[in-house]
């Protein structure tokens, strides 16, 4: 098959979750002997870009997009177009044109939606909004969040409904990361129970990022480290709750040999340094961005996530692969798909910091239980190896052929 990926940024493994997942998927298709191509808006440094594409082209969004796409599809005899756009701006600008042009050329269009439907309606906390405003960074977003706070959730969903409708109308298949995201997507897009749109929905998870799995010896050799790997963006990642929970952990004398590592960078690094200092944390390290977190996963015994929204977070599947026991809030649908509560990790009711701290401390204090759960986590992650995920892709694509 000849497959073209349409993205905002040139495909590169060293970017965020969506970009990394796109790189992994396109590399898997190429490895299987398919010819993969790339259409993108923004180029990256040549040393960072993927090298397995048969051809790639930067789209000129101020020119005739339909003509550019048409020429590319024809000259490369494209069978499938996979759209992995993120922002509303480019989805509105590009997706209808790409879909119409693909239909004209007999190519099928698959659109991937990498987030939890409705994530845009989350406003964050007032304390965080005020910190951004008083410290003069991300002020435009802070003002937008403040205004959104004053709106009912239904109004917020109405404001984003056009983007969701564009997404589901201009595609042959819409791939979501969890079946639990089907109903929210249909509701927000305003298509209701129309069977034409429901038939377009498919669920395919992100595959694992790395080869290999933690062994029993690896699990036995882990340090007493809790780990967070995330973009430091409070509105979605909610790391302030993790810091507050860790304050409770540090007050427990039985756990004074444990520490928390936070790997990542982002707009709220200063906010977390400020909060960590105010809380008086002694065993919490902000490590900054790590291009390769594998060594962190190998050393960590517990992976902490307090996000208020996620799609199908790669950091959870990656850390499971390396034998970390997951502790997460039930704030996003795919949490229950990834974490087997009480077996490979713990799922805590959203916003219940007290319960989260208690569960985390009990896990840290019980070496035997923690190591048993770590082994389950490794086994659980095996269902997401690339071969399993690619079978789902090929099955879906075969069903789409005329």
Strand order in the sheet with 225-229: 284-288, 259-263, 225-229, 302-305, 325-329, 345-348
By C-alpha distance, which of 337, 335, 361, 332 is closest to 347? Answer: 335
pLDDT at 47: 56
By C-alpha distance, which of 155, 131, 154 is closest to 142? Answer: 131
Q: Are 87 and 93 in contact (CB under 8 A)?
A: no
CATH architecture label of 216-384: 3-Layer(aba) Sandwich (3.40)
Structure tokens at 91: 């989805």
CA atoms in the 13 A half-sphere facing the CB of 174: 26
- d(CA 233, CA 16) in angstroms, rounded, equals 12
Domain boundaries, the chain: 2-207+385-400, 216-384
Query: Do the domains 2-207+385-400 and 216-384 sit in the same CATH topology, yes or no?
Result: yes
Q: Show pLDDT as tens, one digit a residue, over the chain (402 residues).
A: 999 999 988 887 666 667 778 888 998 999 999 999 999 998 876 656 667 889 999 999 999 999 999 999 999 999 999 999 888 888 889 999 999 999 999 999 999 999 999 999 999 999 999 999 999 999 999 999 999 999 999 999 999 999 999 999 999 999 999 999 999 999 999 998 889 999 999 999 999 988 899 999 999 999 999 999 999 999 999 999 999 999 999 999 999 999 999 999 999 999 999 999 999 999 999 999 987 899 999 999 999 999 999 999 999 999 999 999 999 999 999 999 999 999 999 999 999 999 999 999 999 999 999 999 999 999 999 999 999 999 999 999 999 986
Residue 336: exposure state from Cβ atoms within 10 A (0-12, 13-18, ≥19): middle
Q: What is the number of other CB atoms lying within 10 angstroms of the CB of residue 90?
A: 18
pLDDT at 46: 60
pLDDT at 89: 87
pLDDT at 44: 73
The separation between CA 193 and the C-alpha centre of its own chain, rounded to angstroms, equals: 27
pLDDT at 401: 86
Q: Which long-range contacts (CB under 8 A, 24 or more apart) does 238-241 make?
A: 238/306, 238/307, 238/308, 239/268, 239/272, 239/306, 240/125, 240/128, 240/271, 240/272, 240/275, 241/306, 241/353, 241/356
Strand runs labelled E in 200-339: 201-203, 225-229, 259-263, 284-288, 302-305, 325-329
- d(CA 167, CA 185) in angstroms, rounded, equals 10
pLDDT at 195: 92
pLDDT at 48: 61
CA atoms in the 13 A half-sphere facing the CB of 83: 29
pLDDT at 127: 94
pLDDT at 88: 83
Residue with tokens 């493994």: 13
pLDDT at 9: 87
Residue with tokens 């993790």: 242
> Which class would CATH give 2-207+385-400?
alpha beta
CA angle 180, 182, 185 (to 5 degrees): 120
């Amino acid at each position: 098959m000849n497959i073209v990926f349409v993205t905002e940024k040139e495909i590169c493994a060293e970017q965020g979750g969506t970009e990394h997942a796109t790189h992994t998927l396109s590399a898997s298709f190429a490895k299987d002997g398919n010819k993969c191509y790339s259409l993108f808006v923004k180029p990256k440094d040549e040393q960072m870009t993927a090298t397995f594409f048969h051809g790639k082209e930067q789209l000129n969004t101020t020119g005739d997009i339909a003509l550019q796409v048409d020429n590319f599809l024809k000259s490369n005899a494209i069978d499938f177009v996979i759209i992995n756009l993120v922002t509303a701006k480019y989805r509105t600008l590009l997706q209808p044109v790409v879909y119409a042009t693909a239909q004209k050329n007999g190519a099928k269009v698959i659109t991937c939606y990498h987030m939890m439907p409705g994530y845009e309606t989350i406003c964050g906390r007032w304390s965080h909004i005020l910190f951004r405003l008083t410290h003069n960074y991300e002020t435009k977003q802070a003002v937008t969040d403040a205004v959104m706070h004053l709106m009912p959730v239904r109004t917020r969903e109405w404001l984003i409904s056009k983007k969701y409708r564009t997404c589901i109308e201009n595609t042959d298949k819409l791939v979501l990361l969890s079946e639990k995201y089907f109903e929210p997507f249909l509701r927000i897009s305003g298509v209701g129970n129309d069977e034409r749109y429901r038939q377009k929905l498919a669920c395919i998870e992100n595959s694992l990022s790395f080869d290999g799995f933690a062994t029993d010896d690896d699990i036995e050799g882990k340090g007493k480290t809790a780990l967070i790997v995330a973009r430091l963006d409070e509105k979605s990642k909610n790391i302030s709750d993790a810091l507050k929970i860790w304050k409770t952990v540090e007050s427990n004398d039985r756990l004074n040999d444990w520490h928390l590592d936070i790997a990542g960078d982002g707009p709220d690094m200063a906010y977390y340094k400020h909060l960590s200092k105010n809380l008086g944390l002694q065993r919490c390290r902000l490590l900054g961005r790590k291009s390769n977190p594998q060594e962190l996963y190998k050393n960590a015994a517990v992976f902490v996530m307090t996000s208020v929204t996620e799609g199908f977070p790669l950091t959870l599947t990656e850390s499971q692969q390396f034998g970390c026991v997951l502790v997460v809030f039930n704030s996003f649908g795919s949490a229950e798909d990834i974490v087997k509560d009480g077996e490979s990790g713990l799922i805590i009711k959203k916003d219940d910091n007290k319960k989260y701290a208690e569960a985390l401390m009990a896990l840290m204090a019980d070496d035997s239980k923690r190591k048993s759960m770590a082994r389950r986590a490794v086994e659980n992650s095996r269902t997401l190896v690339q071969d399993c995920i690619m079978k789902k892709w090929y099955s879906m694509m075969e069903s789409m052929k005329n």
